Structure formats: C-alpha cells, structure tokens
Structure 1
Amino acid sequence: MPEATSRIISLCLDADDPTRMATFWAEALGWEIGGPDGESSLRPTDDTGFDILFEPTTETKVGRNNIHLDLTTTSIEDRRDTVDRLIEAGARHVDVGQRGDEGHVVLADPEGNEFCVIAPDSTFLAGCPRLGAINADGTRRVGLFWSAVLGWPLIWDQDDETAIRAPDGTGPIIQWSGPPLMTKTGKNRLHLDIAPPAHVRQQDEVDRLVGLGASRIDIGQGDTDWIVMADPDGNEFCVLTPREPSGPPTWRRSVAPSTRTAVRVGDRRSRRQPRELLAAVPGSSAGCGSRRQNRWWVMPLGLGTRS
C-alpha cells in the first residue's frame, strides 16, 4: 500500500436525532456507543478500522439515499431475528422496487435511511463483519478513484461495477453499482471523513486528490481545519488534518471537550483522531466470492430496479 494514502477516520451520517440514531445502529451492528463524540458516535467491536459519527442536520431527507449499508447474517435464523429485533428498535420494511426473491430484506432506520439485511449464503460478503458493505451509487471511475485514495485494492471490477477492501482483508467492503446513476438531490446524508498520515501535509494530500479527479467544494463550512471535497461523481467527503500512522486505537480531540460543538458537515468545529486500522497481514485476502453471482444478494445502491 502506498505510504501517502489517506485512511478512513469516520463514516458520517446526518441525523435529526443523533443520540437516537446512535442507539439504533449500536443495536444493528453490535458496536459500542462512545468515543470522542459521546452518545452521538459508535466505535467498532470488530476489526473495522473506523468509527461512525452521527451529525445533527436540519435538512429533510429527499428520496432514496445514494449510499446505504449492507448487514451480514450468519444463518436464516440470524437474519430473521435481526430483522425482528431492528423493527422493534424502530426500523421498518420499505419497498424500493425489489422483486421479493433476492434473499435479502430491505429496511429503513428510524429516520428513513435504507439498508439491507443480507442472506447468510452471500459469498461476496463472506468473511466480512456485521457491517458487510458500504454500498454506493457510482461509476467505475469513482471506484478506481477511491482505490487510489485509500490504497485499497480492487476486489471486483466488472461491467462498470467496482468494489474495494482494506489490504489486510478486515472491515467492510466499499462497492459501487455502476450506471445508470440515481439523480443526486442535495448533499448526501452519508459521507466519509479521511485523513493523510502524519508525515503528509494536508494541502499536499488535497493536491493529490485533485490530481486523481476530486474537487474542492463549498457547502458553507466556513473557516475549518478540514477540507470539504467531492469525488469524481460529486459525492462529498472531508479531508481532516494529518494523523499518526497505524498503531493502538486512540481517541483524542483537537479541542477541549467543553469547547467542542458537534454539528453537521458544513459546520463542525473540530475533529478527533482515528481508531486505527489493524496492521496489514501479508497474504491475507478479503475472502469474498463472485460479485456477479451475488449481485442481488449485495444490491446496487438503488436497492432495486432503477429508472
């Protein structure tokens, strides 16, 4: 993996009620509530190398998200119990055009964000933790872009569909469903926060990303220590200040707790250090099977038939 690549610090979700959403997704993933953002963030209990942060928003959700999460299951009983448990926690069934015989269940969380509970026989997600995939609408170009940004190899590249995973085979897959793309309506409700290693200047990393096809954008963030960018498909992400190289998990604030204000991506006032990726294991693999064999087990971002 190239030394200068950034790594994922957080998967961020806009939320009307961050605390409620953190509680729901802690139940869904089996992750712990806590970390630098208190009750509005989750830290993994598995080998996932980033946290999840729920950020307050006043923007109304419009249409289907163009990014959703796929949850793995270990058995038919686990899938049934997971669906029942999450519905009791506030989820609901949603119809996004699925046929009904795909083997997965499409749900929405308490704020309407779609996600899939995948069948246990998905070879594509074999070996993945409960958060099996970040499933995104996107072109092949954006899959190649993120592979270069993170230094994650392609584990699928066929028919304009792409997927990447950490080189050590830990954590979730990130995948892009290929065209036709959904119409983007406003800022995405889900985005990634990334950061370069400590020996790379933030501006140098921004310049590298621009060279790969990203662009700087203004969403009203003002004067901040992170930089808001968009990938080649126009999806927002944030480049944080440089972070220490891989090592033991650590949580550190850039300002004192009493002065930190947690608000949405355009208004955040500080950032925290990452939960680090595990050291790479030479010769390890993602343990995933054929994407084509399981394209309906791991749904394209539209979650069903798209017009």
Structure 2
Amino acid sequence: MATRLVQINMKARNDSALGRFWAEALGWGVDSEGPGVTNLEPVGFSYPDPVAVCIDIVASPEPKTVKNRVHLDLATTSKAHQAQLVARLRDLGATLADVGQGDVPWTVMADPEGNEFCVVEPRAVYQDTGPIAAVVVDCTDPREMVRFWGQAMDWTLHEVTDAYAAMRSAKGVGPYLEFIRTNDTKTVWNRVHLDVRPYPGDDMAAEEARLRALGATDPGIDQTAIAWTVLADPEGNEFCLLTPR
C-alpha cells in the first residue's frame, strides 16, 4: 500500500478570484466541483496523473496571519524567462515579497491573497517539471520529514541532508516535493496543505492505520461530515488522505 501526492489545497477568502490568478499564472484550466471550491489542473489533464500536482482552492473566512509553511516554486527556462514571468505575474496581481531571503537568485512573490511563492532561476533539475518546479515544505528536521513522507508515499528520494530533502514521483515526472529546514515552528493551521490519495482498490482504513503507525497524528477536528481523513505529519502539518482512486 502507498499514497501519492495528487494536489495541494489552498484556503482563500475568494476562491474563484484566486483560482483565476493561479490558472493564468500556470496556464491551466479552471473548474469548480461546487460552491466555495475552485479546481485547477492542466488543460487536457486526466486526474490523477503524476505529471502534475493539481490545486484545489477552498473558500475560508479566516485571514492569513503568518508565512505559509507550504509554498510553490515556479520553474523558468532562462533568466529572460524568469524576468518575463515575474513581470507577467505582477500584471496579474502578484507582489514582490520579503521573507528575509536576502540576496538570492530566485524571486519571492505573493499571490493576491498574500500566499508566498517563488519564481526560481533556471535550474537543470526543473527543466521537465512543468510550470510548478516544486512543492516546498518548511520544517525543522528534513531527515525526519522525508523519512515519514518517503514511507507514506511511493515517491523516490532524490537528495537528503540536514538542511534539505527532495522527492519526486517514481515515474520521474511532475514537480518535486522538497523539505527545507527553518528555525520557525508551526503555530497555526496551515492555509496550504498536501492532499494524498491511495491507489484504486486500496483500503482507506488500512491506509490510515499505516500512516498513523509511521507517525501521523490526529489534528483534533470534527471529521464526521467529510468523506476523506485529515491527519498531521510528524511536525504537525495537516494533510488530507483522500479516498482511493
């Protein structure tokens, strides 16, 4: 049994407006499965497929108060492309952001609701990822995080150090999942989180039990009205275990 990363979930005060921004930013299609939920995926995409990690944007009245612990890195193919993408994103409503990054070759930005993301300089490792180079998770212990997620999912470990770890789909396509060491600890519910899904035919309850045995915990919320399961990883980051598909 195993799961795989299929989408990220973003909370937003205006899901449709933020969905339009990210659809334009990524060149993706936009849809909705119901009021308060905006779904983004590549045009012509057949969900789920490791070639892309999709985005669900869900309406929430709670304001953003701290730097997100999960963010997107966007890929570029040249320095000129990086500059053009930054300019286009600013035209769409993004702003430059200062999270204490200092003098770095990538550009830190925020979407119209203040969610941080990076437009990275051209890197060979990201040349075949699609528009999203990586889904990045801040953490205090990358080794422990990749230990958990490496067993939770069937993705392949590419690199691990005390400060950084990276995984990618075993099929070698789509974005990377990266863990970056920070000194900050989690203090509030994450406005951006991971959604993982078991494979068709897998048993949902057995998969939940397996994840708990690996170190997942109960975030302490009422889950009686939902068909999926909300858990937290070893550093308290909430994630959703969706039904097998």
Match of 2:203 in 1: 201
Give 1:6's match in structure 2, choosing from 3, 23, 30. Answer: 3
CA distance in 1, matches of 2:243, 2:210: 15
Quote how far apart the aligned CAs of 1:154 are.
Answer: 0.8
Q: Residue 116 and residue 50 in structure 1: after superposition, are their counterparts in 2 closer, same or farther (change >3 A)?
A: closer
CA distance in 1, matches of 2:236, 2:162: 21
Q: 5 Å matches for 1:237-252?
A: 237-243=239-245
Larger radius of gyration: 1
Match of 1:41 in 2: 39
CA distance in 2, matches of 1:107, 1:178: 20
Which AA in structure 2 matches 1:215? T
Which AA in structure 1 matches 2:138? D
Match of 2:84 in 1: 81
Quote how far apart the aligned CAs of 1:40 are.
Answer: 1.1
Contact kept, 8 Å, 2:4 with 2:155, in 1: the verdict is no
Q: CA RMSD in A?
A: 1.8
Quote how far apart the aligned CAs of 1:37 are.
Answer: 5.1
CA distance in 1, matches of 2:185, 2:65: 11
* Identical positions, percent: 37
CA distance in 1, matches of 2:203, 2:241: 11
Listed as ranges, the gaps of 5+ residues in structure 2 are none
CA distance in 2, matches of 1:49, 1:118: 18
Quote how far apart the aligned CAs of 1:164 are.
Answer: 0.3
Contact kept, 8 Å, 2:128 with 2:174, in 1: the verdict is no
Deviations 1:114-163 (A, max 9, x none): 1111111x234233211000111122211121111111111011224211
Q: Secondary structure at the match of 2:126?
A: coil
Quote how far apart the aligned CAs of 1:49 are.
Answer: 3.7
Contact kept, 8 Å, 1:35 with 1:43, in 2: the verdict is no
Deviations 1:164-221 (A, max 9, x none): 00011111000001253x2322110111222222322111000100111101223334
Which AA in structure 2 matches 1:11? I
Alignment length (residue pairs): 237
CA distance in 1, matches of 2:132, 2:160: 21
In terms of mean alpha carbon deviation, does 89-98 or 193-202 score higher? 193-202
Q: TM-score under structure 1 normalisation? A: 0.73
Q: 5 Å matches for 1:222-261?
A: 222-243=224-245
Give 2:14's match in structure 1, choosing from 14, 17, 20. Answer: 17
CA distance in 1, matches of 2:68, 2:177: 15
CA distance in 2, matches of 1:83, 1:49: 22
Q: 5 Å matches for 1:12-161?
A: 12-34=9-31, 36=33, 40-45=38-43, 48-100=51-103, 102-120=104-122, 122-138=123-139, 139=141, 140-161=143-164
Higher RCO structure (Cα 8 Å, ≥6 apart):
1
Contact kept, 8 Å, 1:134 with 1:175, in 2: the verdict is yes
CA distance in 2, matches of 1:16, 1:223: 22
CA distance in 2, matches of 1:35, 1:74: 31
Q: Secondary structure at the match of 1:83?
A: helix
Q: Residue 190 and residue 126 in structure 1: after superposition, are their counterparts in 2 closer, same or farther (change >3 A)?
A: same
CA distance in 2, matches of 1:35, 1:170: 26
Listed as ranges, the gaps of 5+ residues in structure 1 are 244-307
Contact kept, 8 Å, 1:37 with 1:53, in 2: the verdict is no
Q: Secondary structure at the match of 1:86?
A: helix
In terms of mean alpha carbon deviation, does 106-115 or 44-53 score higher? 44-53
Which AA in structure 1 matches 2:217? S
Q: Secondary structure at the match of 1:184?
A: coil
Q: 5 Å matches for 1:171-190?
A: 171-180=174-183, 182-190=184-192
Deviations 1:38-66 (A, max 9, x none): 87110124763442100011111112111
Q: 5 Å matches for 1:279-294?
A: none
CA distance in 1, matches of 2:66, 2:193: 17
